Structures are given as structure tokens and as C-alpha cells.
């Protein structure tokens, strides 16, 4: 009987010397207590060493998947085919079936074989000669690391911890740069305050200060490589009439040294940004296409790793970074936030304020899919991210154009299109929109209309009366004279009646007052 034994260093084929002792499975371990006893049971027939770790990894992965590798096939053809009448003991039954199909060799897998393999493994250093124990341990460790990487689909190039560190450093550099530039502008502003208003860009400001130094040197120095001609002329003109104080050379040297620091940090920041961009495209290409490298890196840093981020649902990805606002809203029973770090994505930024919530929700759903594809998928292309981004952009376009289609209540029935009918509408200009006066209530409007109608009717009556009088002037002149006399008599009689009524009313009032006084006197007497 032959035994196929796999090690981290290579393939070993042993020949069993005493097959009778293999029948006693329970006491078989006693035969492998020492290397001398083990050599009496099995003997090394052939050992094929692996050339490097990649070959060992390929062989071990083939064995794990139950496949027959090329090297193993060659060894079995050379060595085992000579003793084709003997059986081959194999640790894996699936591998034994493959060997039997392809090479027509009889293979055995039983509890006895597993105990034999365990005994060989315990005394492997004594059974395989010419292989130092230190080398064997190193090969075992290297193969274990490579195999674990393969099993977890993990590549040393895809290390998301580098992204976490890079984005954190980028944020720190931005803060430091901001502080340094503010200090530089304030410091040099005492000497040349006009320069800060003329040059708005921070990096060009620092380069200009470093090159020139004292403001009196602007007239003689050439700054055309830093500034355009128009700005250069403005700077030179402002330097001649500047209101700044005089400073010493030592002060200028310190300011120049600060400018050097600002320029170096700015250059390193651009280099770090390029590094982060390349890293993101290598590790999470689909996520980078969807939300950009900075937002994607911040999401990974906030979650801790790409795998942790892949475990989050889309609703969590949407509000990741707005935890304080979320818990504050839950505590105060107000509206929860609609977006967190994803708000800084370009797709959310270019929408109107009304549609930001809808787009951030859809973008978070598609982003969650791309994160899982990047973290757990084998493909490294960015096609999926591009497709999902296109879907979000089309949705955004529909929302902006108000082209949302409404589907019936169940959502399963198709939306029915009504028959098209051309309706011509004639719109009349409404002058009420031109009025700046406040709106009047209906009751007040009705009263005003009634008053206007009454005034119109009165005017019409007056007009008709005047027209009649003009026509009958010539005919009724003598009649009018008689009427006038009668009217004068009537007026005189009415005035006499009024004069008689006035004293009578006053006498009545006097009598009433006297009666009241008498009543009061009687009441007082009775008391």
C-alpha cells in the first residue's frame, strides 16, 4: 500500500511496510511514538519539493477544492503507475475519486487511513530526511498566510486602513494649512496690508512674499512667473504708497520661513490627494465612481473598514455622519436628518433643496450595492458604479423636469394613458393681480357695489329731472310764479307750527321735573 501525504514543503509518497499493524486502528498511535517505530511501519518512497510559495498555494488550493493539480498528476504517473497493483491511501475521498477517474488507480479512504496520516504527521521530521525543521516551519507559516488571503479573497494591495489614515491626515493638513495661512497674512499684513486684498489666492500670496520679502523690493523684483501682468502692476503701485509699518530683516526672515512651511505642506497635500485617489480606485472603484474619492474615503473611515461599511444597510449609509442630529431628533420628537456625509456628493449638491432628500435616499441605496460589490466581489471593474450613477442621474433629471409617472394604488397595474383631447383655452388678462391693496371681504364688496348702484340711479334721476325742466321752462313760467307764492305760504305756516311745538315741549319737561321733586319730598317725610 502506498500513502499520499501532502506537506507545506511538497508532496510525499510513503510505502507501508507492515499492513497487519494497520488493522488495529485504536492502538495504531503507539507505533508512531518514536521515529524508529514509525520507520518500521512506513518508508519514504518519493518527495517532490515545491519551488516557491505560489506553487505551494496553487497545490493547496487545488487540494482544498478537490481538484488534481498538474504537479501531482505528473508524480502519480511516474511513481505510482509503476506499482499500479497497489492501493493508494488518500486523506480526501473527493480527491481519491478524481485520481481514480483520471489515472485509473484504486484509492482508499477510511478511519484507518486517517489514523495513519495522523501518525505520519506527528513524526514527519524523522520520516522525511534532508528537510530542516526551521525551513519546514517557515514554509508552513508562509503557506498559511497565503492560503488565508486566498480564502478571504484578500489582497495586500487592497488595504483599506491606508485610506482611513490618508483621509484623516488630509483633514488634519487642511486645518493646519488654514491656521498657517491666516497667521502669515496677519503677520505680513502689518508690513504690507494692501497685498492681502490684491492677491486672494493663499498659495500665490505665500510664494510672492517668499520671493520678494520687504515691500520696498517689489519695485525692482520680477514676479511675472507668479502673478499676471495686471496684478503685478497693482502690487507694485500699492507697495509705493503702502500704509504698513516698517519691520526688521529678522521679522521678514521668520515670515519667509513660515511661507516655506505653507508651500511645502500644500505640495504634500496635493501629493497625498493623488495617492488617496489612486488607492480608492484600486480598493473601491465603484464607490469612487458613485460618490467621489473624498466622500467614499470618509464613509470608509467613519465605518472603520470597507467590510464594516458593506454590512451597513442603505438607510445607515444615508445618515452616516449625522448621528448627533439623528439622536437629537429622536429625543425631541422632530424630523430626522435626511443625509450625513453623503450630502457632499456631487449628485446631491447639484439638486434643488426640494429634491435633496429623494436623491440622497436613492444615492444611498445604490451606494450600498456598490460598496458590497467592492468589498465582497472578485471583479475590480467600475462598470456597476457607472451604471448605477447613470440611473441616479436619469432619476434626478425626471425630478427636475417634474416628469414623475404616477402608478395606480396597488403598483402592479399599469398606468393607463387617457385619450388625448385638444382643449383650446382662451386666457383673459386679470387686472386684479396688479392691485397692491389688501384683499377685501365679500360682504364689504357687496355693500360697495350696492352703494355705487344707488349713486348711479340718483344721478340718472337728477339728469332726467333737469332735462324735463329745461323743456318746460318756457311753457310753465307763469305757473311757477303761482307755485312759488304757495310754497312761501306753506313755509311760513310750517315755521309757525314749529315755534308753537317748542314751548309746549319745554312746559311738559318742567311739569315732569316738578312731579319728581314732590315725590322725593313725600319719601323723605315718610322716612
**What does the DSSP assignment read for 4-49?**
EEE-SSEEEEEEES-SGGGG-STTGGGGGSSHHHHHHHEEEEEEEE
Are the C-beta atoms of 298 and 167 separated by less than 8 Å? yes
Are the C-beta atoms of 119 and 28 separated by less than 8 Å? yes
**3 in helix, strand or coil?**
strand
Interatomic CA distance for residues 193 and 187, integer angstroms: 9
CATH fold of the domain at 2-152: Nucleotidyltransferase; domain 5 (3.30.420)
Query: Which residue in the block uniquely carries the three cell numbers 509503476?
Result: 82
First-to-final CA distance of the chain: 151
CATH fold of the domain at 158-272: Helix Hairpins (1.10.287)
The grid cell for 509 is 319737561
pLDDT at 116: 84
- Regions of the chain where pLDDT drops below 70: 80-81, 84, 151-158, 402-428, 432-445, 470-486, 488, 494-527
**412 in helix, strand or coil?**
coil
**277 in helix, strand or coil?**
helix
Closest CA to 14 of 144, 113, 100: 113
Any idea where the domains of the chain sit in the sequence?
2-152, 158-272, 283-401
Interatomic CA distance for residues 239 and 218, integer angstroms: 7
Q: Which residues pair with 13 in a beta bridge?
A: 4, 46
Interatomic CA distance for residues 7 and 10, integer angstroms: 5
Other C-beta atoms lying within 10 Å of the C-beta of residue 109: 17
Closest CA to 259 of 198, 225, 194, 208: 208
CATH class of 283-401: mainly alpha
- Strands 107-108, 42-49: pairing kind: unpaired
pLDDT at 408: 43
Positive or negative, the Cα torsion across 40, 46, 51, 56?
A: negative
Interatomic CA distance for residues 207 and 224, integer angstroms: 12
Interatomic CA distance for residues 119 and 136, integer angstroms: 18
Q: In terms of residues, how long is the chain? A: 527
Amino acid at each position: 500500500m502506498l500513502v499520499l501525504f501532502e506537506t507545506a514543503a511538497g508532496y510525499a509518497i510513503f510505502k507501508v511496510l507492515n499492513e497487519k499493524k494497520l488493522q488495529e486502528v485504536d492502538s495504531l498511535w503507539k507505533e508512531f511514538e518514536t521515529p524508529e517505530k514509525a520507520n518500521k511501519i512506513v518508508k519514504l518512497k518519493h518527495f517532490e519539493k515545491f519551488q516557491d510559495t505560489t506553487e505551494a498555494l496553487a497545490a493547496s488550493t487545488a487540494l482544498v477544492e478537490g481538484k488534481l493539480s498538474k504537479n501531482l498528476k505528473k508524480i502519480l504517473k511516474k511513481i505510482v503507475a509503476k506499482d499500479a497493483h497497489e492501493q493508494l491511501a488518500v486523506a480526501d475521498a473527493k480527491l481519491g475519486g478524481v485520481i481514480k477517474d483520471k489515472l485509473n488507480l484504486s484509492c482508499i479512504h477510511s478511519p484507518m487511513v486517517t489514523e495513519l496520516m495522523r501518525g505520519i504527521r506527528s513524526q514527519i521530521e524523522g520520516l522525511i530526511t534532508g528537510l530542516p525543521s526551521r525551513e519546514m516551519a517557515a514554509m508552513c507559516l508562509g503557506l498559511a498566510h497565503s492560503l488565508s488571503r486566498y480564502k478571504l479573497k484578500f489582497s495586500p494591495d487592497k488595504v483599506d486602513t491606508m485610506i482611513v489614515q490618508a483621509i484623516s491626515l488630509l483633514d488634519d493638513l487642511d486645518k493646519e494649512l488654514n491656521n498657517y495661512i491666516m497667521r502669515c497674512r496677519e503677520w505680513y499684513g502689518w508690513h504690507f496690508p494692501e497685498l492681502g486684498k490684491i492677491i486672494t489666492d493663499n498659495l500665490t500670496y505665500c510664494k510672492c512674499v517668499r520671493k520678494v520679502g520687504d515691500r520696498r523690493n517689489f519695485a525692482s523684483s520680477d514676479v511675472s512667473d507668479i502673478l499676471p501682468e495686471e496684478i503685478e502692476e497693482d502690487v507694485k503701485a500699492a507697495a509705493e504708497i503702502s500704509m504698513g509699518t516698517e519691520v526688521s530683516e529678522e521679522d521678514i526672515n521668520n515670515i519667509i520661513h513660515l511661507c516655506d512651511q505653507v508651500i511645502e505642506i500644500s505640495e504634500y497635500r496635493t501629493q497625498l490627494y493623488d495617492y488617496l485617489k489612486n488607492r480608492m480606485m484600486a480598493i473601491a472603484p465603484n464607490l469612487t465612481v458613485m460618490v467621489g474619492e473624498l466622500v467614499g474615503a470618509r464613509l470608509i473611515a467613519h465605518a472603520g473598514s470597507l467590510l464594516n461599511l458593506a454590512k451597513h444597510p442603505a438607510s445607515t449609509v444615508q445618515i452616516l455622519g449625522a448621528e448627533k442630529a439623528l439622536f437629537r431628533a429622536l429625543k425631541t420628537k422632530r424630523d430626522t436628518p435626511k443625509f450625513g456625509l453623503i450630502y457632499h456628493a456631487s449628485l446631491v449638491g447639484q439638486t434643488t433643496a426640494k429634491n435633496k432628500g429623494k436623491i440622497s435616499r436613492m444615492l444611498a441605496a445604490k451606494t450600498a450595492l456598490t460598496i458590497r460589490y467592492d468589498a465582497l466581489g472578485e471583479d475590480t471593474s467600475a462598470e456597476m458604479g457607472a451604471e448605477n450613477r447613470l440611473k441616479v442621474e436619469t432619476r434626478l433629471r425626471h425630478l427636475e423636469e417634474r416628469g414623475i409617472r404616477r402608478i395606480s394604488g396597488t403598483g402592479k397595474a399599469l398606468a393607463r394613458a387617457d385619450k388625448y383631447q385638444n382643449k383650446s383655452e382662451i386666457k383673459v388678462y386679470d387686472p386684479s393681480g396688479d392691485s397692491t391693496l389688501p384683499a377685501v371681504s365679500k360682504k364689504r364688496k357687496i355693500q360697495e357695489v350696492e352703494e355705487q348702484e344707488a349713486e348711479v340711479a340718483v344721478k340718472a334721476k337728477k339728469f332726467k329731472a333737469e332735462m324735463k325742466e329745461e323743456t318746460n321752462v318756457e311753457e310753465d313760467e307763469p305757473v311757477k310764479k303761482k307755485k312759488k307764492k304757495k310754497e312761501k305760504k306753506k313755509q311760513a305756516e310750517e315755521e309757525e307750527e314749529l315755534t308753537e311745538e317748542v314751548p309746549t315741549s319745554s312746559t311738559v319737561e318742567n311739569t315732569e321735573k316738578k312731579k319728581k321733586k314732590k315725590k322725593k319730598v313725600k319719601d323723605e317725610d315718610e322716612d
